[in-house]
């Protein structure tokens, strides 16, 4: 029996040693071994996320198909339903959602804003409970035709998958942060079949930084997430863009179209920002029900705003709508989505921006045919460019928007008009909405902000393991002279003094050596390290998984001079890995 326990202990120690080695590599992902490990974990995160998207797609159909059959709707979706259906279903669905949030969940924390918040303030730790709740709620919201998209829940569940995987492996928080970005990218890629745009979206909007160490694993996550859903063609949107090209004579008009869509994007952002504090005064069940009622009333005239909206986007790309109808759809969708977003109905805003942008672009393209000479304009082309312009204006993510245009069309010839329209929309929207994306605005409405200066970016990417000093020895406050002499012979940098009162201090060996070398101290057999002359620094404990950003914040918050990097094992016992001083943290930043 004792031999078996000894064998198990040895196996646990060997496993812990291998895991510590992996965590050490991941502490600085700029090195090749760390980056390789992170890429493998990113691919695994993307694959898991792809399975979640399949489950989401299945859940929507399991609820929506019987609902349509019950009311005799077949083939046409929400546009073929009666007026009573269009009003009652979104209202009752929203009321049910509101009651679930108010009575069961007690909070409304989900979506991409929630991901960014957890990245900034909680080291990328996303509760699984919140992801499961959003998954369930989003299925209900999308089934009942609320004006939201599915990419919010896709990104949230993907990011939670990455966070869960990182925490299960007990990885450093800087690696968990990257895996959260991997999950968000995989969720968007699996939803729209736009892996490249998903990668740039994750870097540009969610993580708000571009690094090689971040790009590589996120690319693999987007690829693996897309591959899981690739064979299930009905999971991906079937957006068909048909156009006859563009003429140089259209360029001034294209800039005008971008500006108009930019105004719409800025209006959407500011309307959401204005509605959030107003609706916050109402109990959450009633505010969500109000958003459902707004959608239902607008759907009386424009049923195209209900549901995911892929058919509506395809109708705009095909030029099926007259100018007034296309404008009506765009404005109605903008209002409905503003209320849904401000009321915190679970879902996303990217797909609604597709509907708004394609409808407004189609309307402007059709109107342009009456202004420009010959057959210069094409409603389908303008609808496609409108998607990118609206997305860029709302998210303040021009690269993501441009790549979406290219991936949806498969035509590199759209680079020039796409760049013109997206940048025109971006410039105008930044002028009107004070350079804020919708997500940044919603964060500020929660009283939060996002530090994104270069130093903060670097500190978030690095672990305390990459900067700590391992040349230390743990000693008791009172120690025999012979034992102390033996320790000092090891050429260490720090003495870590631990007392039974759990007090911890750091002391330089040189100060102790000078005291011992004084002639009057030759006869002292027991040394009290707290009483001899020398500088002692009180040290605070920080977890081995922490990032340098967390260490920096702890040092400033506690006005500390040093931290001890350690991991609690059982009770009060701990494994100490190293010592981290304020000077070491300040000296790690490499611009």
27-31, 36-40, 517-521: segment of lowest average pLDDT: 27-31
Identical fold for domains 248-445 and 463-586, yes or no, is no
**Is the pLDDT score of 32 beyond 60?**
no
> Looking at residues 421-450, what average pLDDT do you find?
82
**For residue 282, what is the DSSP state?**
S
Q: Given pLDDT bands bounded at 50, 70 and 90, which one contains residue 423?
A: very high
SS3 402: helix
> Looking at residues 484-507, what average pLDDT do you find?
83
> Looking at residues 346-350, what average pLDDT do you find?
90
Predicted pLDDT at 229: 79
> Looking at residues 80-94, what average pLDDT do you find?
92
Q: What mean pLDDT is reported for the chain? A: 84
Fold of 463-586: CBS-domain (3.10.580)
Predicted pLDDT at 546: 87
Predicted pLDDT at 307: 82
192-201, 286-295, 325-334: segment of lowest average pLDDT: 192-201
Q: Does domain 248-445 have CATH number 3.40.50.300?
A: no
pLDDT 10s digits, 151-209: 888 889 889 989 998 888 878 887 888 899 999 999 888 877 788 999 999 988 888 77
**Is the pLDDT score of 392 beyond 70?**
yes
**Is the pLDDT score of 572 beyond 60?**
no
Q: Given pLDDT bands bounded at 50, 70 and 90, which one contains residue 513?
A: confident
Predicted pLDDT at 41: 87
**Is the pLDDT score of 555 beyond 70?**
yes
* Architecture of the 28-236 domain: Orthogonal Bundle (1.10)
Instruction: State both tokens at 477.
Output: 């406050």
Q: Given pLDDT bands bounded at 50, 70 and 90, which one contains residue 28?
A: low
Q: Residue 392: CB partners within 8 Å, gap ≥ 6?
A: 265, 398, 400, 401, 402, 422, 425, 426, 429
Predicted pLDDT at 286: 93
Would you kindly state where each structural domain of the chain is located, as residue ranges?
28-236, 248-445, 463-586
Predicted pLDDT at 295: 96
Nearest to 366 by CA among 258, 264, 257, 252: 257
What order of strands is seen across the sheet that includes strand 574-581?
472-475, 494-498, 504-507, 536-543, 562-568, 574-581
Whole-number Å distance between alpha carbons of 506 and 364: 69
């Amino acid at each position: 029996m004792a031999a078996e326990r000894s064998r198990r202990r040895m196996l646990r120690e060997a496993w812990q040693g291998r895991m510590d080695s992996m965590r050490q590599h991941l502490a600085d992902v700029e090195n090749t071994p760390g980056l390789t490990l992170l890429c493998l974990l990113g691919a695994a995160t993307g694959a898991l996320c792809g399975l979640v998207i399949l489950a989401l797609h299945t859940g929507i159909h399991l609820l929506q198909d019987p609902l349509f059959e019950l009311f005799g709707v077949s083939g046409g979706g929400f546009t073929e339903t009666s007026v009573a259906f269009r009003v009652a279903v979104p209202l009752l669905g929203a009321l049910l959602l509101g009651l679930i949030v108010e009575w069961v969940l007690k909070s409304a924390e989900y979506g991409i804003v929630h991901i960014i918040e957890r990245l900034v303030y909680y080291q990328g730790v996303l509760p699984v409970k919140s992801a499961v709740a959003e998954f369930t709620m989003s299925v209900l919201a999308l089934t009942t035709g609320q004006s939201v998209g599915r990419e919010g829940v896709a990104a949230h569940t993907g990011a939670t998958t990455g966070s869960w995987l990182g925490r299960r492996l007990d990885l450093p928080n800087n690696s968990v942060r990257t895996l959260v970005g991997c999950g968000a990218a995989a969720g968007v890629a699996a939803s729209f079949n736009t892996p490249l745009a998903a990668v740039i979206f994750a870097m540009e909007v969610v993580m708000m930084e571009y690094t090689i160490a971040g790009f590589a694993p996120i690319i693999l996550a987007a690829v693996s997430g897309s591959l899981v859903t690739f064979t299930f063609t009905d999971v991906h949107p079937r957006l068909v863009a048909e156009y006859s090209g563009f003429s140089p004579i259209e360029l001034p008009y294209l800039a005008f179209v971008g500006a108009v869509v930019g105004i719409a994007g800025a209006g959407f952002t500011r309307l959401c920002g204005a509605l959030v504090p107003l609706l916050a005064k109402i109990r959450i069940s009633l505010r969500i029900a109000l958003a459902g009622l707004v959608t239902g009333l607008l759907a009386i005239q424009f049923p195209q705003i209900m549901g995911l909206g892929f058919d509506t986007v395809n109708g705009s790309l095909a030029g099926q709508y007259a100018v007034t109808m296309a404008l009506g759809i765009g404005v109605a969708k903008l209002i409905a989505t503003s209320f849904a977003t401000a009321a915190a109905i679970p879902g996303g805003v990217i797909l609604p921006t597709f509907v708004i942008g394609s409808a407004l672009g189609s309307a402007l393209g059709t109107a342009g045919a009456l202004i420009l000479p010959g057959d210069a304009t094409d409603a389908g082309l303008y609808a496609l460019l409108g998607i990118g312009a609206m997305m860029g204006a709302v998210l303040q993510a021009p690269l993501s928007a441009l790549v979406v245009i290219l991936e949806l069309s498969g035509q590199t010839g759209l680079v020039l008009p796409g760049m013109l329209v997206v940048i025109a929309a971006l410039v105008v929207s930044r002028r009107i909405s004070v350079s804020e994306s919708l997500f940044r605005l919603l964060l500020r409405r929660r009283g939060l902000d996002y530090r994104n200066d270069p130093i903060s970016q670097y500190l978030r990417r690095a672990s305390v393991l990459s900067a700590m000093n391992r040349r230390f020895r743990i000693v008791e406050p009172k120690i025999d002279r012979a034992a102390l002499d033996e320790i000092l012979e090891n050429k260490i940098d720090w003495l870590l003094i631990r007392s039974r009162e759990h007090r911890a201090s750091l002391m330089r060996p040189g100060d102790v050596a000078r005291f011992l070398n004084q002639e009057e101290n030759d006869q002292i057999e027991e040394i009290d390290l707290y009483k001899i002359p020398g500088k002692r620094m009180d040290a605070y404990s920080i977890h081995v998984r922490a990032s340098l950003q967390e260490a920096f914040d702890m040092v400033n918050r506690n006005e500390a001079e040093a931290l001890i990097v350690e991991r609690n094992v059982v009770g009060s016992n701990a494994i100490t890995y190293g010592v981290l001083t304020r000077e070491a943290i300040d000296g790690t930043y490499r611009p």
